[in-house]
Amino acid sequence: MRNLRTALFFGLLITLAAALGLVVRQAPPESTVPSVDNPGPLGLRALYLYLKEGGAPVEAHRDSLESLPPDTRTLVLPAPQARAVSPGEVAALERFVRGGGTLVVLVSHAKEQGQPALSLWLELDQGPLLPTRERGLPADTQDLGGTTLDVWLPAGAVHGVKSLRVSRDRGVTVGRPEAVPLAGLENAVGLWRLGLGQGEVYVAAGADLAENRRLELLDNLRFWEALAARGPLRFDEFHHAAAPPPPLSRGIWVFALQCLAVGLLYAVSRGTRFGAPRPLQPVRHRSSLEYARSMGWLARRSRVERELLPELAHGLRQLMHERLGIALTLSEEEAARLLEQRCGIPARHYLEARAQLARALDQPAVTPRDYARIAARYARLEDVITGRASFSPE
């Protein structure tokens, strides 16, 4: 028993240590938000720090797009998902572009996380799946899940850019007639340019061009350097944070206080006790003697079933087999002889009890008195066989 307890104790300690080790080693999941504050593979922290350390005027815009600083030259919307771009902000973006600004829209790959107002303005939709191509990557570089886009029209910010490295996902389509595809693969387009007034809009499929994991691959960084050279560049961070819940108005608070006052008044009016409470009734439990008398009354009214007598004989033979080794297949005479040899009960006594049971079975009805007499005789035989009593003739 001591060894078993020791083994269980050490097993419990090992289980707890393994569980604690898994908790300690389990790292928090990496963020998938394309934010300049996210240093993970899908974040834009590396691009932000690279441009800022290089002397480019780069900032994170954390307010509504309707309050965009007037000196902004380029604005980047990196796949906003947490908050929708409002129609008012879309109108402000159109004024910004037509006034000479550059807007870079990185469309989210997830269709259910789209921006309705922005998609309606630019007529955005998902395009075909980009094929897989590893052309241009160094031999010692692996980019699982990525593909290489060819630059079809090196104009604007992609002047001098030959190929871009993006995720192998769906492309994007821009339905406006003035939109021009700049880069893609086969029939899938990954980058569009749209000229509006004195400015331009670049639409890319996903935030892959700016992500930390692919920023240094192929000519991705040259695209951003060309945009930063135009002047102050700002990344939209306002739509990466969920909108706060609206504050409760004063009218709601007044209504809640009125409901509380009415509820308290109802509780006081309905909860007043009229008179003293009723005394508790003592609980009287029935005694064991009452249960015994009830069982005796049931026994007197019940009838003895004939099937109980053969069970007495079968139970005794089973006990003789288990305790004395007397086989069940032997005849009653042979079993009585062996019982006398091994237990001291005369064979005549056992055979008389068996004959008494047989006579009772031959009767039309078995009375409770006959059954009690036979059951008592068989009980004495069982006591002698089990050693609880010694044999004495009746």
Per-residue confidence in pLDDT tens, the chain, 394 aa: 445 455 555 555 556 555 555 444 455 577 889 999 999 999 999 999 999 999 999 999 999 999 999 999 999 999 988 888 999 999 999 999 999 999 999 998 887 667 899 999 999 999 999 998 888 888 778 888 889 999 999 888 998 899 999 999 999 999 999 999 999 998 999 999 999 999 999 999 989 899 999 888 899 999 999 999 999 999 999 998 887 766 666 778 788 888 888 888 887 777 666 666 677 777 777 777 787 788 777 766 666 667 778 888 898 889 888 888 889 899 989 988 988 888 888 888 888 988 888 888 888 888 878 888 888 888 888 888 888 887 776 6
Do the strands 102-107 and 74-78 form a parallel or antiparallel pair, or are they unpaired?
Answer: parallel
pTM: 0.58
Domains with residue ranges and CATH for the chain: 29-236 (3.40.50.880), 293-386 (no CATH)
